[in-house]
Amino acid sequence: MNLENDIEALRERVPDTQALYREVCGLLFFRYGETPTANKLYQLVRKGSMSAPAKALRDFWTDLRDKSRVDIGRPDLPAEVATAAGDMAAHLWRLSLDAAEKSLAAFQIDAKAAVEAAQMHMRDAEVRAEASEAAQREANARSDELRLQIGSLESQLSEQRTASATLREQLAAARSEAATATAALGDARKDFSAELEKLRNSLSQNEQRLAAAERRALLEIETERMAASRARKDLQQANNRIGVLETAHRQERDALRDDLAGVKTRLTSSISQRSELEQSLRKRDDELEHAEKTVVKLRQQLESLTAKLDAGRAPAHSMTRIVRRRNKPVRPLALSTAFAVMTLQRNR
């Protein structure tokens, strides 16, 4: 059976509009696994006004929440822990209840479908049997005219009786399946009770573990708070040391900058003085070179004169006269040249 057939069956069984919408909500949510909405409910049922499915949907969710709510009545638990434990138990309860209801609904639907099919076949067979019996009575009244048709009607009646017997067997099988489904539902309820007891025990253990975890968390928070306080103190000391170092660094940097400016000034002055000294030195080097050339020439002249004096055979008075005449201009020049050479060497 599909959703439309189920809704038509609900229309026949539930005449009240609100009750019909609530039944359709349960059918969509528990059997077909769909979340019901007001628009979808109105499209499926199309009965009453638009406010009817909305009200039925609100009542359905309220009823479902009330049935699935679990109250953890422990006065020593905090409200948040009790709420969380209740929500968890309610969720587990809903999951278990949904599984059990789905299994039961599947068995009930299959059994119901089989029973309805068997009843329909039986009603059809009874209608056909009544029609056959009426035809048989009519045939007996017209036995002379319809004797040939009696055989055919009797054969049809036999077939209908066979079909009716078959339908009765199917109905018995459907009833047997329904009994089996009922027994399975009882077993499912027993299993659900056992699982619920396990969940309660597990919830108690979880509560104990949660309390221990809360104590450990409080200790860890206190430890972290103390460590953060120490870290803030260390950070403040480090910031103070950094401020002192930055001040000393700025003072040292300013002093070095002033020294560098003075060094640059002295370097510029030294470079200019060096340039002037190099120019003066080049000038004196030229003068010394000129003086050395002059000294060499004078030495050559002196040597030539000495050689001529040694080789000459002239009289001594004429020789003396020659020497006096030639040495007069040479002696002052030689002395001035020697004095210039000594001056240049001293300046170097």
Residue 98 tokens read as: 């949904």
**What is the distance between the alpha carbons of residues 330 and 183, in angstroms, rounded to a whole number?**
158
pLDDT tens column, 4-27: 888 888 888 888 889 999 999 988
Q: From residue 17, how far is each of 24, 37, 43, 55, 83 by CA, in Å?
A: 11, 16, 14, 11, 36
The contacts of residue 71 (CB under 8 Å, 6+ apart) are 86
| Residue-level pLDDT at 319 | 46
| Residue-level pLDDT at 207 | 84
Q: How confident is the model at residue 157 (pLDDT cuts 50, 70, 90)?
A: confident
pLDDT tens column, 259-292: 888 878 988 988 888 888 889 888 888 988 888 8
pLDDT tens column, 191-217: 878 888 887 888 788 888 878 888 997
Q: What percent of the chain has pLDDT over 90?
A: 3
Q: How confident is the model at residue 225 (pLDDT cuts 50, 70, 90)?
A: confident
**What is the distance between the alpha carbons of residues 343 and 337, in angstroms, rounded to a whole number?**
10
End-to-end C-alpha distance for the chain, whole angstroms? 128
**What is the distance between the alpha carbons of residues 87 and 70, in angstroms, rounded to a whole number?**
7
Q: What is the pTM of this model?
A: 0.25
Q: Over 70: is that where the pLDDT of 77 sits?
A: no
| Residue-level pLDDT at 348 | 54
Q: How confident is the model at residue 328 (pLDDT cuts 50, 70, 90)?
A: very low
DSSP assignment string, 94-152: HHHHHHHHHHHHHHHHHHHHHHHHHHHHHHHHHHHHHHHHHHHHHHHHTTTTSHHHHHH
Q: Over 80: is that where the pLDDT of 175 sits?
A: yes
**What is the distance between the alpha carbons of residues 153 and 161, in angstroms, rounded to a whole number?**
12
Q: How confident is the model at residue 79 (pLDDT cuts 50, 70, 90)?
A: low
pLDDT tens column, 282-322: 888 898 888 889 989 998 988 888 888 888 755 544 545 54
- Per-chain mean pLDDT for the chain: 78
Amino acid at 324: R
